[in-house]
Structure 1
Amino acid sequence: MTAKTHEAHNRSVLTRAKAGDLLEFPRGWYSHWAVYLGNEEVVHLAGDENDGINGNIKTQHVFTICGKTFNKAVVKRENFWEVVLDSKAEINNNKDRKCRPRPAHEIVEEALMKIGKIGYNVLWNNCEHFAAYCRYGVNWSEQANTALTWMMVGGAMVMVGGLIKEWFNGKEEKKEKKTESA
């Protein structure tokens, strides 16, 4: 889809957005996050060379960031339209149900103070962590938590599969020994 397809929707989001709101930009398999400043401006954490903002994540960055912080990310102040691209933006302050947001002027101040280079880690310090920290004072990414949960479930399944395989192999060995001794 093109940016024109979502233009009316995104204009509607901008008319409703207030300074300090979190904006979510769904990008397919992940969402990009920003803090709304007002006047069609946002502050967000994005990779150098636009890495990640438009879904063009360089594989070398994906595989070098897990478990290790690298300085390939920048907190930027940009025009909303430079960040939204062809996404259908949403105001997403859903974490307000679990965390108390700071006053709007403090959220904006926190975001502006962070402009410049910053470390990045897809699981521990991504754009959603950044936006949540500005609004709530807490690093929190539901995307990262979901990914970690699925990794743990996958790891547990592999372990259980290995145990079951060992159990069946042990049964077969006992059966073979019984047959040999008879």
Structure 2
Amino acid sequence: MLDTLTFLLEKLFLLAHVKLSSLPLKRRRERDETPPQQPATVSPGAPLKFHRGDLLEVPRTLFTHFGIYLGDDRVAHLIPDILPALTSPDSRRVQEMVTNTRLLLGVICKRASIRVDSVEDFAYGAERILLNAMDRAVSASCRVSPLSAEEVARRAERQVGAVAYSLMWNNCEHFVTFCRYGAAISLQTDAFCEWLKSLIRDKRNIVLTALVGLLSMSCVGPSCYTVLPTLLVPFTLWMAS
């Protein structure tokens, strides 16, 4: 069961990632052409060039993870985690690295923690870390500028602890944008919502859902469980398109 949920969650992240790569050219250029102020690579023994209050961004296969650098090789970041809801916050087990099982259960149960880890643990094997790469894109889309570095770090430190989690509305990107820009936004969520809107607007999906409904009726037989979805889903898509 857990493997199935992991597979479905990865597919959801993949859809959001694919949609992000297909953003309009102008918006993609705003993100992709934004040069990091101080490009950094996480590698053993490499000197760190981060400063307190910097926004760290780790590109991963299916999504991007974000954190706020606090100085002294410490990064505050929001990560789904079921364990803080099951044990005391000062438990040593909570401070251990979040495993995939803990992360998945945290997503399902909508529980997370804003925690402080080393840069290496935050990067979680990534070969590169983007530094303040969101500044230009957020400034262009939301007309806001980064707060002072000390204010950014203090905002992050004040929020450390267990928090509620939402994959779409309260994730790691919302946390760092609130700390750095004073507004909790997520470009990844915006991109995924745009993909959903384009999916709903596509009239071909109306025909597809109607055919799937008719096929289920022919296989299972007419009943309220097959007739109602067959009628309501295509009708809802038609009205929303």
TM over 0.5, shorter chain: yes
* Relative contact order higher in (CA < 8 Å, ≥ 6 apart): 1
CA 165–135 in structure 1, closer or farther in 2 if over 3 Å, else same: closer
Asked whether the 8 Å contact 2:58–2:130 carries over to 1, the reply is no
Which residue is equivalent to 2:16?
Answer: none
Asked whether the 8 Å contact 1:25–1:32 carries over to 2, the reply is yes
Which residue is equivalent to 1:132?
Answer: 177
CA distance in 2, matches of 1:54, 1:129: 22
Alignment pair present for 1:115 and 2:160: yes
Letter in 1 for 2:169: W
Segments of 5+ residues of structure 1 without an aligned counterpart are: 1-7, 167-182
Which of 55, 65, 69 is the matching residue for 1:36? 69
Which residue is equivalent to 2:42?
Answer: 10
CA 165–9 in structure 1, closer or farther in 2 if over 3 Å, else same: closer
CA 89–140 in structure 1, closer or farther in 2 if over 3 Å, else same: farther
Count of matched residue positions in the alignment of Structure 1 and Structure 2: 150
CA 22–55 in structure 1, closer or farther in 2 if over 3 Å, else same: farther
CA distance in 1, matches of 2:49, 2:205: 50
Which residue is equivalent to 2:126?
Answer: 87
Asked whether the 8 Å contact 2:80–2:106 carries over to 1, the reply is no
Asked whether the 8 Å contact 1:33–1:127 carries over to 2, the reply is yes
What is the Cα-based RMSD across aligned positions, in Å? 3.0
The CA deviation string for residues 62-104 of structure 1, in whole angstroms up to 9 with x for no partner, is 5x47xxxx3x100001111112121133234233221211111
CA 165–122 in structure 1, closer or farther in 2 if over 3 Å, else same: closer
Asked whether the 8 Å contact 1:36–1:42 carries over to 2, the reply is yes
Asked whether the 8 Å contact 1:34–1:131 carries over to 2, the reply is yes
Deviation at 1:43, TM superposition (A): 0.3
Letter in 2 for 1:34: G
Alignment pair present for 1:143 and 2:176: no
Alignment pair present for 1:162 and 2:206: yes
CA distance in 2, matches of 1:119, 1:74: 8
Alignment pair present for 1:75 and 2:123: no
SS where residue 167 of structure 2 aligns? coil
Identical pairs, percent: 28
CA 165–47 in structure 1, closer or farther in 2 if over 3 Å, else same: closer
CA distance in 2, matches of 1:143, 1:106: 25
CA 92–160 in structure 1, closer or farther in 2 if over 3 Å, else same: farther
Asked whether the 8 Å contact 1:17–1:91 carries over to 2, the reply is no
Segments of 5+ residues of structure 2 without an aligned counterpart are: 1-39, 84-93, 211-241
SS where residue 117 of structure 1 aligns? strand
